[in-house]
Structure 1
């Protein structure tokens, strides 16, 4: 109800905007508000899950991108069902990627938990380290868990398939005719995102062999 009330108030200010010459600003603000709170899933920012700083200078992406690569973490192998568990898994993955693999940051652009949230990794504007040779042309989104034999929950998959994709396209970060692929299609040394999940994403819009 608070969101609806705020939208109503913003719309009711339009007559003021015409008088003061700020109509465009009001409309753009309303558009951004609707995009962020209606089209996008709730994305947990880095500061909330306890991310360490990026090592070195972040490399900027050139938007919009035209690929989306789907991963599973494999390790952690179990889905995280609460915010505290998912945040712990995010910190563990970042620590492994930075300290063991020598990467600048957690490799994924975003990570989907089974607690109903999407977690910010490298994010919308920074090159990740998720798909060798393809990091600058696409986002890498991973599901926490091992999905070789089982699927993530339907709600978790919908967070990516519908909400995060809609958010990316609507925000001008991903072209509408983007290509969706599994990690295994781009390299020959992994079965990521797991047999079960890969079979599932072949049925999704924008999937390409």
Structure 2
């Protein structure tokens, strides 16, 4: 079995630890998306993957690979999200900071799309996942990938969808930078 190596990013503010697993590690290949994403972006879009939840490294790895395989089978170039966050508190790179994803039609070239792994209509992601997403956004701001005055949206605010689910939408409405409109 291939050893999965995580890149650990230490955040300067608060000394938090954020595990970001590069796509080359979890998928074994580079992202197929080639269009450059101009940084910093002014928007962050929170979504859910509408898949099964995952809480262990093994299950999250299997889930993100299943999502990648499925979306490519139905015609996407590659994983649509910039990043995916597992219930294990780890972040899985998709299109990342520097490539345009396919997460929110009309906003892909203006936003980072963060997909929580699972379906969050009636329940919230794990506390570890919520913390990891917030640390990811903070890291993005600190490293000029996300503008300091960014706006945070739930996917449903920009597209006709239930994503990120009722429970997760209500949660992010209390996060810094959430934009009503």
Q: State the TM-score, normalizing by the size of structure 1.
A: 0.77
Is 1:92 paired with 2:66? yes
Correspondence 1:106 to 2:83: no
SS in 2 for 1:41: strand
CA distance in 1, matches of 2:109, 2:153: 15
- For residues 77-156 of structure 1, the aligned pairs below 5 Å read 77=52, 79-100=53-74, 102-156=75-129
5+ unaligned residues in a row in structure 1: which ranges? 1-34
Aligned partner of 1:62 among 34, 38, 48: 38
Stretches of structure 2 that go unaligned for 5 or more consecutive residues are: 1-7
Shift of 1:98: 1.1
Q: Distance in 1 between matches of 2:22 and 2:98?
A: 13
- Among candidates 26, 40, 50, match of residue 27 of structure 2: 50
Q: Does 1:172 align with 2:148?
A: no
Question: What CA deviation, in whole Å up to 9, does each residue of 1:169-191 have, x standing for no partner?
Answer: 00010011100000001012x11
TM-score (normalizing by structure 2): 0.88
Distance (Å, rounded) in 2 between the aligned partners of 1:54 and 1:144: 19
Name the structure with the higher helix share.
1
Work out which of the two has the higher radius of gyration on C-alpha atoms and give 1 or 2: 1
Partner of 1:72: 48
Count of residues in correspondence between the two structures: 169
Select the structure that is richer in strand: 2
State the 4+ residue runs in structure 1 displaced beyond 6 angstroms.
Answer: none
Structure-1 residue corresponding to 2:167: 196
Inter-partner Cα distance in structure 2 for 1:47 and 1:108? 15
